[in-house]
Amino acid sequence: MDMKLCPKCFASVEAAGYACSAPHCSRAGIPVPPAAEQEEGAAPLCPACQSRMTVKVCLECGFELDPDALQRGLLCFSLVGDQGVGKSNYLGVLIRELAGEFCRVYGATLYPTGGDRTMDRYQRIYSRPLYDLGVCVPPTEREDVDPLTYTLLFSDDSAAGRTCALAFYDSYGKNFQSEANMALYNRSIYHSAGILLLVDPAQFPAIREQRSARGLPLTPGDPQELLLRTIHLLRAGLGLASVEQKIPVPLAVCVTKMDTLFHQLDPASFVRDPSRSLRQPALSEADLSSCSMEMESLLEVWGAGELLRHVKSQFQDWCFFGLSALGNSPGEQGEIPRISPHRVLDPLLWLLWRNQILKAE
């Protein structure tokens, strides 16, 4: 769903305000409502320093708004997952691959919006640890996290896709441990154009037993419980009173850290192969369908059949993915030998296709 709301607090932005960006102004960053007599599109003067205020902001929370997204509408994608499943590592690698490999193949450009906020936050929190220091992204510590906002830009005559404004929501892992916390800090979920539910395979009964027998660390949390909390939040937020009404938000169920299980997969596994959606500027519907069916079979074997049935009975549109953001298991201190992403882009490409941004072959 194209959203014309503030991506931070989800207030209406039909009457967005302005904020002064002069470095020494006493009212810098403070939202100012547009004057009644102000011409449409004109930048007003700061009431304190009289400089032109060109930065549009939400009047409720002061979040800087992208003019393109205000007109176009925003596609929000929420990452949902327990602490330790790798949400922040995944998002950091996803943005890098989207800006790099995807844009190269599809002839697009990923443009960070919101002034320096998105660029600074991505560089500081995600890119520097992963690509400069060679370590995992530290766990998210704040309950309330600003989204990363971008414009995915295609040329007007592109046959690959259409330009869209995007927002990505990472989140503090402990937010997902109760419905009350999710309702307070994860409102992006029921404003989403798509949800990425990230699950560590070590959370499934059969894999948990294997790892426990070998004395390997386990990932806490129950993906089945998290899925049900997400369903309850979506139903409340979207006003779906009856459980017979299927949720219209597309759901991508992403099993992370698949590199640790490649040795268990059949040699003819589709999941082990590189994504065919990056061979040409069109999503490979057949490849994603084959991978989804393979992951469904694996989830049944791993003891996650109930999760499968809830997904299929509650959502109109869903797909299962197996991926690895890092391609390697981090060392004891979180060090990463080499980042080798595997099928990281597949869930987002599927969600963009379901939102009619990309075309399929």
Q: What is the CB-side half-sphere exposure of residue 92 using CA atoms within 13 A?
A: 28
Query: H or E element: which one contains 295?
Result: helix 285-301
Q: Are 46 and 157 members of one domain?
A: no
Query: Looking at residues 286-310, what average pLDDT do you find?
Result: 97
**Does residue 360 lie within any of the structural domains?**
no
Say if residue 38's pLDDT is above 50.
yes
User: For residue 192, what are its two tokens?
Assistant: 């989403």
Question: What's the confidence (pLDDT) of residue 175?
Answer: 62
Residue 31 lies in a domain: yes
Residues 2 and 53 in one domain: yes
Tokens of 277: 């959606």
In a domain? residue 361? no
Q: What is the pLDDT of residue 213?
A: 87
Give the range of the structural domain holding residue 272, as residue numbers without chain letter: 73-354
The pLDDT tens digits for 235-255 are 988 999 888 899 999 999 999
C-alpha span between 153 and 163 (Å, rounded): 5
pLDDT band at 184 (very low <50, low <70, confident <90, very high): low
Residue 176 lies in a domain: yes
**228 in a domain, yes or no?**
yes
Question: Is residue 287 a part of any domain in this protein?
Answer: yes
Residue 334 has pLDDT above 70, yes or no: yes
Same domain, 27 and 79: no
The tally of domains found in the chain comes to: 2
> What is the predicted pLDDT for the residue at 1?
44
Q: Are 94 and 148 in contact (CB under 8 A)?
A: no
Point out the domain boundary residue: 51, 67, 83: 67
Give residue 349's Cα distance to chain centre: 12
Query: Could you say which of 50, 67, 84 is where a domain stops?
Result: 67
β-strand 148-153 against 109-112: which pairing, if any?
A: antiparallel
Query: How far apart, in whole angstroms, are the C-alpha atoms of residue 303 and residue 316?
Result: 23
Which residue in 308, 294, 233 sits closest to 264, CA to CA? 294
Question: Which backbone phi and psi does 257 adopt, to 5 degrees?
Answer: 55, 35
pLDDT in tens, 64-110: 888 877 778 789 999 999 888 999 999 999 999 999 999 999 999 99
Q: Are residues 146 and 93 in the same domain?
A: yes
In terms of domains, do 34 and 139 share one? no
In the listed set 67, 84, 101, which residue is the last one of a domain according to the structure? 67
Same domain, 27 and 107: no
**Interatomic CA distance for residues 127 and 149, integer angstroms:** 16
198 plus 245 within the same structural domain: yes
Give yes or no: residues 56 and 146 share one domain. no
User: Is residue 161 situated within a structural domain?
Assistant: yes
Whether residues 183 and 261 fall in one domain: yes
CATH code of the domain covering residue 102: 3.40.50.300
Same domain, yes or no: 237 and 191: yes
Q: In this structure, are 42 and 96 located in the same domain?
A: no
Mean pLDDT of 319-331: 94
* DSSP 8-state symbol, 126: I
Residue 165 included in any domain? yes
Instruction: For residue 8, give both structure tokens.
Output: 């931070």
Are 151 and 293 members of one domain? yes
